[in-house]
Structure 1
Amino acid sequence: MYPGAGFYGIREIFLAYAGLPRFLPLPVAVQHGWQCSGHAFEASAKPPEIWVWSPRMAAEVEAYYPAKRIRVVGSFYCYLKRLMKNELPQVEKRGSVCIPPHSSHFTSTDYPIEEFVRQLDKLGDEFKPITVMLYYLDMNSQTVEMYESFGFKVVSNGSLFDECFLRRFVHNVYDKQHCLFSDLGSGVFFAADMGLNLVRFDIESRFVNRGNEHTTDEYISKAKMFDEEFLRSLGETRPSSELGESYMLSPGELRKLILRNYFTWRFVTRSARWVAGKVLRSMGLSSRNPKLT
């Protein structure tokens, strides 16, 4: 219903942690991935609240939404980690997961795939075997064949609206020893939290905006500068502070907060408009197709 909440199983994660039925809507917008800076996406639907990962991101989003409606709750990944604590068997970590630069909706990412693959192939045995994790938008035959031709396993976690996306990510990553990457992203921070050794490759990537109003040239330029500075100062505390685990709510606190937001004027009016729109669309469909009535 609100931006971010329906991506990657985020809604289901928060509802499950709060002990609420998973079919309910989430009455807030959510920071759906790691960002170097804020933009207007989460604020676009005027939600009762925007939930962000960290105080840094809260300060960024204040440029687009009132501070009183922005709440730091930690990343949804931290909540899933608690939910999955008894699901993952103890294993000896080995090999690597590789997270290449990835595209997003209306923004494609280009990088020299063959050069990247050859650098991966030159790694020592301690980094093998290598599993390459491609975002579903980049799962084209040419890219997959390039990685597989060097003997690498290629996996994907599912699509944007797949509620098991993040669970698959955890299963694909937790038993690896190294995380190989070039661009910062959510997966790198999640992998670091799971104890993987971060190994960065200096591969030049290029963002091609194909209609995303939030991914401006200014945003891309700012992101690249931020990433470089962040990577230079990367230490044990930086990834964990970005995830905001210390700001997590208890199941009871989260449940109370979700229920309270159901009764806000913003949620009630948006829900009413959504129901009215659905009824009108249904009536319009029925009038065009008499056999349906």
Structure 2
Amino acid sequence: MESEKVPPGADEHLEELCRNRSLETEEIFGWNAFYGIDQIIKTYASLFEQYSLKGVWPHGLVFDPRKVLEAERKTALPTVFCYPPYRVSAYREHTDKRVIPSAHPFLYLLDMVDAEEGEREGTLFFPQHSTHHVTAEMNYAALAENLAALERKYQPVTVCLYWKDYNLGRAVPFREKGLSVTSAGHMFDPAFLYRFYNLCTRHEYAAGNGIGSHIFYSVAAGCSYFHVEGVDYELTGDEEVLERDTAEPDDDIVHRVRDTFGPRPPSSIEKQKQEAGYFLGADYKKSQTGLLKDLMWAELFDKFRVPPGEKNTRAQYFPTFWQRGLIPKLRSMKSKVIG
């Protein structure tokens, strides 16, 4: 956002933190670098920073047990490291990749950070957020009023805005109600999830008005979570983009999440942590050696073997290493000859 468009009272640090930026990564599948997921995995497994992971690591939690994002399906990598557990069947049905049930990288991050000392207080609130190509619309003024009116035990409330929503000026209604505004930064910032964790460790509660990954991250980081009713949201944008980039939450999954994370006062933190562990794939969390072993299996699949799949394509019989290199070159040569 240009400086002259910064809302009155905007924090200069947040302006820099949330500024739009390009993705800089060594990853074959660029989405692996969203929120610094690739760096967490490589740091935990003691791999060098420039190494390219040979599998798809989903950057967010999908609450549809059937849909597979087209970019994940098409990328020329042999494996997908899958979470939550209910997503395994979708990847096995709709891709030719070897599916490895896995833990979300946020759980590995927790093993690599020192617990923040100090008293937790207040609530960290996450409005349902926009994305690069989809915009979240809601009555922000009404939401700010609802947050300011929360019971004393939940105060003070700090609103954690997504980078795009900060740039859209969404901080203004909250500041007008005297609420603090912060952010975990841009999705291409490798420190995003570390910053998210640090923000959570300062608060006793986390809350939101939509179902998203923030619920499970914040609970894993020690917050007690509750849902704020009264202000609905709508995701807007090009219909084709909405179909491509969003998934319709499964009713059973929504009910399961709402049963544990919906009420105020929140249900027991032990129950919430158990549920968060399920959605983050805690049962599939590996030791450093175990994770490195999985990553090296993916490396072998990439160079020497394509896992069996359902697609009857000639390219399927080539290891993905050659699909990324040789096949594009052959296509280019063919087009030049024909041309």
Aligned partner (choices 325, 329, 338) of residue 272 of structure 1: 325
When the two structures are aligned, how many residues end up with a matched partner?
A: 272
1:261 equivalent in structure 2: 298
- Structure 1: any 5+ residue segments left out of the alignment? 277-293
> In structure 2, which of residues 236, 261, 273 is the aligned counterpart of residue 208 of structure 1?
236
CA 141–73 in structure 1, closer or farther in 2 if over 3 Å, else same: closer
User: Is residue 69 of structure 1 aligned with residue 98 of structure 2?
Assistant: yes
Looking at structure 1, the residues matched to 148 and 327 of structure 2 have their Cα atoms a distance apart, in angstroms, of 51
Q: Please, which of 110, 131, 156 is the counterpart of residue 81 of structure 1?
A: 110
Distance in 2 separating the partners of 1:90 and 1:34:
29
* 1:120-199 correspondence to structure 2 within 5 Å: 120-140=147-167, 142-199=169-226
**Mean Cα displacement is larger for which, 7-16 or 202-211?**
202-211
Give the deviation of 1:214 after TM superposition: 2.1
Q: Alpha-carbon deviation of 1:57?
A: 1.8
Amino acid at match of 1:77: F
CA distance in 1, matches of 2:128, 2:35: 18
Q: Which amino acid aligns with 1:55?
A: P
Q: Give the structure-2-normalised TM-score.
A: 0.73
- SS of 1:25's equivalent? coil
2:10 maps to: none
Q: Which SS does the other structure have where 1:214 is aligned?
A: helix
Equivalent pair of 1:3/1:45 in contact (CA under 8 Å): no
Provide the rounded CA distance (Å) in 2 between the counterparts of 1:261 and 1:39. 23
Per-residue deviation, 1:261: 2.3
Counterpart contact for 1:108–1:208, Cα < 8 Å = yes
Q: Which moved more, 1:110-119 or 1:250-259?
A: 250-259
Q: C-alpha displacement at 1:158, in angstroms? A: 1.8
CA distance in 1, matches of 2:91, 2:174: 38
Q: Distance in 2 between matches of 1:209 and 1:183?
A: 18
Determine if contact 2:83/2:281 at 8 Å carries over to the other structure: yes
The separation in 2 between residues aligned to 1:40 and 1:53, in whole angstroms, is: 12
Residue of structure 2 equivalent to 1:40: 68
Q: Is the 8 A contact 2:45 2:291 kept in 1?
A: yes
Q: Which shows bigger deviation, 31-40 or 108-117?
A: 31-40
Report SS of the residue matched to 2:38.
Answer: helix
Letter in 2 for 1:205: Y
Distance in 1 separating the partners of 2:232 and 2:326: 45
Indicate if the aligned counterparts of 1:117 and 1:147 stay in contact, CA closer than 8 A. Answer: yes
SS at 1:6's partner residue? helix
Matched, 1:28 2:81: no
Query: Aligned pair 1:59/2:83, yes or no?
Result: no
State the match for 2:79 in structure 1.
49
Give CA deviations for 1:7-35 in whole Å, capped at 9, x if unaligned. Answer: 11111110010011112111111111111
Q: Deviations over 1:29-66 (max 9, x none)?
A: 11111110143322121421111123212123333224
Q: Give the alignment of 1:273-288 within 5 angstroms.
A: none
Matched, 1:243 2:280: yes
Determine if contact 2:161/2:183 at 8 Å carries over to the other structure: yes
Once structures 1 and 2 are overlaid, which stretch shifts more, 119-128 or 206-215?
206-215
Task: Give the % identical residues.
Answer: 20
Q: Extract unaligned runs of 5+ from structure 2.
A: 1-27, 262-270, 304-318, 330-339
| Structure 2 residue 135 is the aligned partner of structure 1 residue 105 | no
1:252 paired with 2:305, answer no
Q: Matched residues in 2 for 1:23 and 1:275: separation? A: 23
